[in-house]
Chain A
């Protein structure tokens, strides 16, 4: 299990990186390496060129833009984990990030890398979809923004082109006092989740839900928003009965099946985890009330 031969490049600027991407036919971008390196070691990928973007200094930051936090493409998962800004403004991300691998992998793994790899149960893509993030990608001579809703094209396939790279991710902030919960089920601590549920609730006085975002990871080929649940919550007053009933809608979602996990189980977990996440998020909302639906 040794990497195959390739030519290594370590550009110091985004321009240089995208030039290389434009020029090289069969190249792979190396960010944190937590997904690409195992694939190289196992020779599941055989690139002619590896473009290491770790030396590009202006790709790593967390910036407060008022209505959003903006993350550089190679911002490490570790930096997200220890960021006070993230904890205050995107608590869903803070809760999710602790489920991402282990300290050793978070020290290296990057936000842009997670999005580009796009594992269906990865936490950062799930949170990005939940928060309606916008991903900026750049290629030689052009930049464009891709809303997260349009970012996944299929199983582990983002919608940007091979000559494009993720430069930053803009994550809109929900109003102060919103409820949030990231609940996942994994076989072991730090494993990719079988299923996860990310919930954001804006709760008005009296417990009325004015806005809801409900995202499932691991169920479909990429993380997906559950519109039926979101619509069913809007305008309703949060209650155990409401959450129990509405979560059942997750059972109707088409789910993936593999040798480890039947589709039935993913649907079942989607229901259970969403109910639990709704209760947790509602309990945390400034205008919500405490409840436990475990």
Chain B
């Protein structure tokens, strides 16, 4: 048998295609007779529409059709996007209309769709559509939008409160009555987006001959898109096929079903010609969902040793103008707050605010970075007040390993009680501190300060629910050629599913991963699927591949035993051949696959069912909880406010690793996104909620000089929830980043006693705080 593949640090199978320019992303499809679409979008955050005149646009060169809301086919089952995830806490579940012709509620909302021979001509025509707007005031900041006097996000709504709910447990009155020390503080975490380098894109083709719609979409959730389109058209499910080809990054925003994904197929069917729409970067800034904006007002109570007694408070979450993903993000925030600590009592009231901005749905981290920021900053404050080391106060409060599984007393978004399945939080923190030489830092800091350099260290912990159900299935099929193919529903937007799922399968057949193909993200290839989000593929699809591969292996053995006239228990599989142990007798998988295809008139060997394949839909009983610790060392220039990350250390526990190489990459990339959220990424809106920073020159993503090298150490606490012991790994790097980085900045500036309660923090904010203290 060859080298073991599961757990091996092997390079990816995906890479050669992508490195040579032969990937196929949605915009790479060129279909015969294909038309291109461009949208007319509202330039105002809030306006009433009194009329739309498309006359000049229709007459423009190359234009084939112009659609407004009133031009859409009449037989659509809905013209407002269906609410995906209802929750009784939601009082005003506003959803977007496919095209708006009455009241636009965010800058970028689509009003008309132009279809032309080229995108260039379509954009020309879009400029010719005349829309009569009556501009209305916009609700911008989510906190002030909840004031009685605030402009209304939707003109006919009673107020801007979209949802309200409280989570919590324990006796808070007692906690605060018995407290040695309490501290109350407000925190603000600002908006940020996914900003995949590939924008969204949709190509749709209707084949009249077989009455089938095929849609290629740069989506994380092809099955969600399919179901929504099927519902919209009222068609039979098998007439719609959605394919997520190579997707150039997801990070959350491509999870949700968008109006453009509904409209392009409708128009392709209506016109009888393929239609392509590729979002440009300006549209991406205006009309692709974002996340993060939250205000937290929290009060913490601790005893004399710094042990947590209770935390209470309230949070305001910006949901934008619509709620396509309900309250998933703020609910995750609320339930993430306790983190890895023993928190005897906790209560959080959340109010979800409607604002005249693009909708808020999960972005990598999904509500967790904000919660972790609030919790970890409170820990820092209490440590400082008690004159305790910031790591030590954490250590004293960590849930000990022997208490696993640990029931929090909260209900998670999957409706089940939150129970941490496994994890060694003390070890994780200790490993991160060792990696970052936390204990040696005081000496380093003293030496640096003597030379006029201001360095600081920060630490932050987090726990993250991953591997969200209900399922992601896999079919494992051995082809008559002998190659193994895995089919699964979730697409790949850079995670490397081909490689990692092949690693799960390969050992069952004693082959290298190069003998395995993975076809993913295609609703035509497997009956059911969910999608690639919420750090769920390794857990769900990985376990399904494991189960299906095991079944196929057993079947192969059964058939081979029959073919070789041997006992099943004497068989083994090596190098893709099933043989009798200790003999030369063996039969290749290809021959077995051929044998179970069947021959007319003959029964199948061993009486098995046809086909050397199996399908499983693994469904986890609950989320599996990943955790980690970030230790960050920074240098701050107190005059300019410039922050340089000197050392970034991360202990990360996502259970068993399928491929450490790939997990390292996930952690590194996620950290970079967290660096953006901490120091750079700031989506600026004016007081009326009109976006200001709608280019990459204004909204700053980290580039290579700003991104740190991340030293990662893996702590492996296998989860008992799935057969592989794996947990999700795609988001953990992002989650504690802002908390740790900003703590480090504060520490560097401790001579000025600077306090920072928001993220991101910009150089001018830092310089101003230092200057204010220096002038005192």
Contact A2 B123 (CB under 8 A): yes
Residues 133-165 of B, flagged 1 when their CB comes within 8 A of A and 0 if not, give 000000000000000000000000000000000
Interface residues of B in 102-124 (CB under 8 A from A): 119-120, 123-124
Chain A residue with minimal CB distance to B705? A189
Contact B684 A185 (CB under 8 A): no
Contact B764 A272 (CB under 8 A): no
Contact B282 A5 (CB under 8 A): no
Question: How many A residues touch B, CB cutoff 8 Å?
Answer: 25
Residues 670-705 of B, flagged 1 when their CB comes within 8 A of A and 0 if not, give 000000000010101010000011010110101101
Contact B684 A259 (CB under 8 A): yes
A192–chain B nearest beta-carbon distance, Å: 8
CA distance A111 to B762 in the complex (A): 31
Contact A43 B127 (CB under 8 A): yes
B626–chain A nearest beta-carbon distance, Å: 31
Residues in B with CB closer than 8 Å to A43 are: 123, 127
A214–chain B nearest beta-carbon distance, Å: 18
B640, CB-defined interface residue at 8 Å: yes
CA distance A161 to B509 in the complex (A): 76
CA distance A260 to B383 in the complex (A): 33
Contacts A264-B768, A269-B640 given; does A4 touch B282 at CB 8 Å: no
Chain A residue with minimal CB distance to B770? A268
B87, CB-defined interface residue at 8 Å: no
Contacts A185-B642, A259-B692 given; does A4 touch B124 at CB 8 Å: yes
* One of B282, B698, B702, B705 near A260 (C-beta < 8 A): B698
B771, CB-defined interface residue at 8 Å: yes
Residues in B with CB closer than 8 Å to A1 are: 123, 280-282
Question: How many B residues touch A, CB cutoff 8 Å?
Answer: 33
B514, CB-defined interface residue at 8 Å: no
Residues in A with CB closer than 8 Å to B771 are: 268
B231, CB-defined interface residue at 8 Å: no
CA distance A2 to B693 in the complex (A): 20
CA distance A264 to B775 in the complex (A): 14
B508–chain A nearest beta-carbon distance, Å: 47
Contacts A185-B642, A262-B764, A265-B764 given; does A2 touch B703 at CB 8 Å: no
Contact B706 A188 (CB under 8 A): yes
Contact A265 B680 (CB under 8 A): no
CA distance A265 to B695 in the complex (A): 23
A261, CB-defined interface residue at 8 Å: yes
Contact B119 A2 (CB under 8 A): yes
Residues 183-223 of A, flagged 1 when their CB comes within 8 A of B and 0 if not, give 00101111110000000000000000000000000000000
Contacts A2-B119, A262-B764 given; does A189 touch B127 at CB 8 Å: no
B639, CB-defined interface residue at 8 Å: yes
A153–chain B nearest beta-carbon distance, Å: 24
B767, CB-defined interface residue at 8 Å: yes
* One of B281, B639, B680 near A187 (C-beta < 8 A): B680
Residues in B with CB closer than 8 Å to A188 are: 680, 700, 702-703, 705-706
CA distance A43 to B123 in the complex (A): 10
Contact B640 A272 (CB under 8 A): yes
Chain A residue with minimal CB distance to B126? A43
Residues 263-287 of A, flagged 1 when their CB comes within 8 A of B and 0 if not, give 0110011001100000000000000
Contact A191 B282 (CB under 8 A): no
A42, CB-defined interface residue at 8 Å: yes
Residues in B with CB closer than 8 Å to A42 are: 282, 695
Interface residues of A in 1-57 (CB under 8 A from B): 1-5, 42-43
Interface residues of B in 750-769 (CB under 8 A from A): 762-764, 767-768
CA distance A189 to B762 in the complex (A): 15
B176–chain A nearest beta-carbon distance, Å: 39
CA distance A189 to B700 in the complex (A): 11
Contact A268 B123 (CB under 8 A): no
Residues in A with CB closer than 8 Å to B686 are: 259
Q: List 6 A-B contacts (CB under 8 A).
A: A5-B124, A187-B680, A187-B762, A188-B680, A260-B698, A262-B768
A5-B124, A189-B706, A269-B640 known; 20 new pairs, CB 8 Å cut-off, are: A1-B123, A1-B280, A1-B282, A4-B124, A185-B640, A185-B642, A188-B702, A188-B703, A188-B705, A188-B706, A189-B703, A189-B705, A192-B697, A259-B684, A260-B682, A262-B764, A265-B767, A268-B767, A273-B640, A294-B637
